[in-house]
A and B are shown apart, each in its own frame.
Chain A
């Protein structure tokens, strides 16, 4: 039944087959997408018509490859910018939150902690529409009362950043809190006894201890932001992020350029994921 117990041949064999099928199921769509990015055909489908790099490098006029496709390139850049700001903000606020919940005691702590977990159970679509509504209400209010027309309240780049930040921070908080719980408080007390200021202790000792967790959480935040669709869908303005842009293309028909973008995404995220694995393993 398990490793240490005797098992029949059929049992082993059928279990192995099942796992093989399962992994085929997991990887089939990804492999097919990658392979068809190199097919010399105008549609992402078989039969195989030969190997080509047109969908990456061709400059037109018949085929426009990914690296000459302004719309896709611009959306990739937008996604990088969004993910950059989201991960910076969420790491800063998430670290503050983990300090607040792990080290301080105050009234209503339980309630605030529950509120901090709430973004985990709010569907992304709902978060998107609430933020859209609230920013619209705020925009109208400022316009009516003060005659101010503030851009940030309209669907735009910064609203997307805020929307993604609002739930990704929860994940950062959970990761950093887990590490903070392992911290040896006598180190802080020793530094304080030796005359360090409170902020000095946090900066030189606690944050140094938290660094691996903060970097890891930042990487996860970056990926989550880069791939977010549900919340972004309602907040996006004239600058679509990559998932939104891809969605519009997939919905209206498909060209192998989408496969080329997907291939880059698959390779990029896999590399980032493997680096992350490597570091967490080294830490242990």
Chain B
């Protein structure tokens, strides 16, 4: 069927505007700005100094490594927690309550991240609800501050990104044929063998897409480390924010931003490569 050029350009023009003006150009500008800086006379020149600062100041690259490491840990814990939950929903729950469970599972994630974090804050802080009950029950004598440490921060990050692991896992487990598990059981396979040889291999695409999304969201998260980790959360997005808003050093901030973008793209590429998947398969 021959289509007219006019129709093509009606579709193409807004898309090109969107992608070039709002995605390509800004990121090229980010790259350009990261190589600019003032010299000793106060003039703007091309320089590698912003990147050099990153590698020579331990506080910056340590924060970077720490952020990446904690994002990996968060992704792994999320996976461990999401696996039995999605297994229960896909394979164990009675068909009648299955739909209700899925809706219940999704509901908290429609609510703004800020509200969820705020809920955790009033639960966990020194004058919080959990401390109130623990004092009442006599478990502790004096209230404990449960906020502002790394363990709480990771818990918050796991909570925030849970959904993006559970949803792909549930859908991939629903596509697993029950008779495969039944057959393995009849032939005498134990729980562990069934998980290792049937369930996990089948779930690989779901695990990949879930892990990529969770990792990326954790790496770029600002709210949760900032509010639950407190002053010593040392998250890399906070460094970027500080450079931009507090010290107004946009060039340094751009370099940090570009490094974070590189790291996140590299990990995603690696994840896709290792499991031989394409980006659009994971996206849909």
Q: Are A104 and B8 in contact (CB under 8 A)?
A: yes
Against A, the Cβ 8 Å flags (1 = close, 0 = not) of B1-36 are 101100110111011001100111111011001000
**In the bound complex, do residue A26 and residue B110 qualify as a contact, i.e. CB atoms below 8 Å apart?**
no
Chain B residues contacting A229 (CB-CB under 8 Å) are 112-114, 222-223
- Contact between chains at A166 and B283 (CB < 8 Å): no
Report whether A121 and B19 are in contact in the complex, using a CB–CB cutoff of 8 Å.
no
**CB < 8 Å: which of B23, B113, B116, B194 contacts A118?**
B23
Contact flags B77-112 to A (C-beta < 8 A → 1, else 0): 000010011001001101000000001111110111
Contact residues in B for A92 (Cβ distance below 8 Å): 14
Binds A, one of B49-57, B145-153, B177-185: B177-185
Q: Which residues of B contact A265 (CB under 8 A)?
A: 111-112, 115
Closest to B94 in A: A3
Interface residue range, chain A: 35 or more
Name the interface residues of A119-152: CB closer than 8 Å to any CB of B. Answer: 119-127, 129-134, 137
B114, A250: Cβ atoms under 8 Å? yes
Is there an interface contact between B241 and A3, defined as CB atoms closer than 8 Å? no
Minimal beta-carbon separation of A230 from chain B (angstroms): 6
Residues of chain B with a CB closer than 8 A to A114's CB:
279
**Partner pick for A18 among B84, B162, B221, CB 8 A cutoff:** B84
Closest Cβ of chain A to B224, distance in Å, is: 10
Most buried by B among A121, A132, A198, A258: A121
- Set A45, A126, A192: member contacting B257, Cβ < 8 A: A126
- Which of B3, B24, B280 is most buried by chain A, counting CB atoms within 10 A of its CB? B280
User: B19 to chain A: which residues have CB within 8 Å?
Assistant: 112, 115-116
What is the CB-to-nearest-CB distance from B268 to chain A, in angstroms, rounded to a whole number?
Answer: 5
A121-B264 contact in complex given A4-B178, A15-B92, C-beta closer than 8 Å: yes
Query: B244 to A129, Cβ gap below 8 A?
Result: yes
In whole angstroms, how far apart are the Cα atoms of A97 and B8 in the complex?
A: 11
Question: Which residues does chain A contribute within 8 Å of B114, judged by CB atoms?
Answer: 227, 229, 243, 246-247, 250
Q: Main SS of chain B's interface residues?
A: helix
Q: Which of A88-119 contact B (CB under 8 A)?
A: 92-93, 96-97, 99-100, 103-104, 106, 112-119
- Cross-chain contact A162 with B22 (CB below 8 angstroms): yes
Are A123 and B216 closer than 8 Å at their CB atoms? yes
Which one, A23, A93, A130, A199, contacts B14 given CB within 8 A? A93
Knowing A32-B129, A227-B112, say if A104 contacts B222 (CB, 8 Å): no
- B33 pairs with A250, CB closer than 8 A: no
Q: Do the beta carbons of A277 and B103 come within 8 Å of each other?
A: yes
Task: Tell me the complex Cα distance, A113–B240, Å.
Answer: 29
CA distance A234 to B22 in the complex (A): 15
Shortest distance from the beta carbon of B103 to any chain A beta carbon, whole Å: 6
Interface string of B42-68 (1 = CB under 8 A from A): 000000000000000000000000000
* Distance between Cα atoms of A137 and B32 in the complex (Å): 11
Q: State whether A273 and B110 are in contact (beta carbons under 8 Å apart), knowing that A117-B283, A130-B30 are contacts in the complex.
A: yes
Q: Is A33 an interface residue when CB atoms closer than 8 A count as contact?
A: yes
Contact B257 A198 (CB under 8 A): no
**A interface residue numbers (CB < 8 A to B):** 1-5, 15, 18-19, 22-23, 25-30, 32-33, 36, 43-47, 92-93, 96-97, 99-100, 103-104, 106, 112-127, 129-134, 137, 162, 165-166, 169, 174, 178, 188-189, 192, 198-199, 202, 223, 226-227, 229-230, 233-234, 243, 246-247, 250-251, 254, 258-259, 262, 265-266, 269-270, 272-274, 277
Top 9 closest A-B pairs, CB basis? A29-B119, A123-B220, A130-B26, A134-B26, A166-B22, A227-B112, A46-B132, A100-B11, A33-B119
* B interface residue numbers (CB < 8 A to A): 1, 3-4, 7-8, 10-12, 14-15, 18-19, 22-27, 29-30, 33, 81, 84-85, 88, 91-92, 94, 103-108, 110-123, 127-129, 132-133, 159, 162, 178, 181-182, 185, 191, 194, 212, 216-217, 219-223, 226-227, 237, 240-241, 244-245, 250, 253-254, 257, 260-261, 264-265, 268, 279-280, 283-284
Given pairs A30-B115, A166-B23, 11 additional interface contacts (CB within 8 A): A22-B85, A29-B159, A33-B115, A47-B132, A121-B268, A122-B23, A227-B113, A247-B227, A250-B227, A266-B115, A270-B107
